[in-house]
Structure 1
Amino acid sequence: MSLDYTLTLASGATAAQIAARMPPEQPEWTPGTGSVLTADLYQTLGIDISLWADRHGYVDAMSDEGLFEWEPDPLVTVIFNLDGPIDREQAAANMIKIVHGLLESGPEDATLVINGDLLLVARFDGKIAKHNRERWWSAYPAADRVIPG
């Protein structure tokens, strides 16, 4: 079963500008339909990445406090698909390292949601909060060590 993680950044940046901030090394980006960029990192990191800039976004997911809703405008969406040959825990840690790098390299408000259902990370006004520690973070200790808090 594929796991999809959606990082939403409240940003007026282009997809290419956000892609340029991707750690650890700059992946080779393939243009998709419209302004979508994709990178196939299945063999090396166990993830596939797609990103695009948009307007009028909507995020809803279950947080520690109940239903979380947010409407960023404009936004950049980064989708991570973890369905590669790499161990799932290692792939999750690799994805979280990229998320952490993006959060460290810019000031945007942001959320990270798994399968459109669970809020894992929210950053607003520069403060990062982890959510669903028992349901997700405890199952991925290597990923849990990447983002403090």
Structure 2
Amino acid sequence: MPRKRPGALRAQNQMPRRMYGSAGAPPRIDRLSGRTASAIHAEESRRPRDEGLGPGDTRIALKCFRTFLARPGRPLYVRRTVCGCDDCELGENVAVARDLLALVLSRLPPHRARRELAALVAELDEELRRRTLPDPFAYRQTWRGGGWWHGRIYDETCHL
């Protein structure tokens, strides 16, 4: 009876890396060093997804933040999604993306990675403050979170 080669057996029994919680090499995050991307990837992979942070979420949040700020026009309005699920909100709502970045910043060790990500987020925050308008009645709406970015005027026409 013919035998299978050892490499073929290993390939057959190997599960995809994403199921182990570690996605292998950390993905490249724009404008961050490889060390910082590795530290972020390690923190994203360390905890279960139900704690609010999963592999690749920081990269998606930064992309959402940059996409929002790249829109033309002076006053930008924060948008909520129609369905309200976490994945859609993370990809489209800049306030949810900023919440996730605050979570990542709080979980990173206080070393170079945290400083580098904090500097990048501070630049984006400055532009967000400059290009959005504060909502004077935000305190009346209990669904808004505690960060200053939830106190900006929301676009109420996008979910109608």
TM-score by length of 1: 0.32
Higher-Rg structure is 2
Higher relative contact order (CA closer than 8 Å, sequence separation 6+):
1
Structure 1 or 2: more strand by fraction: 1
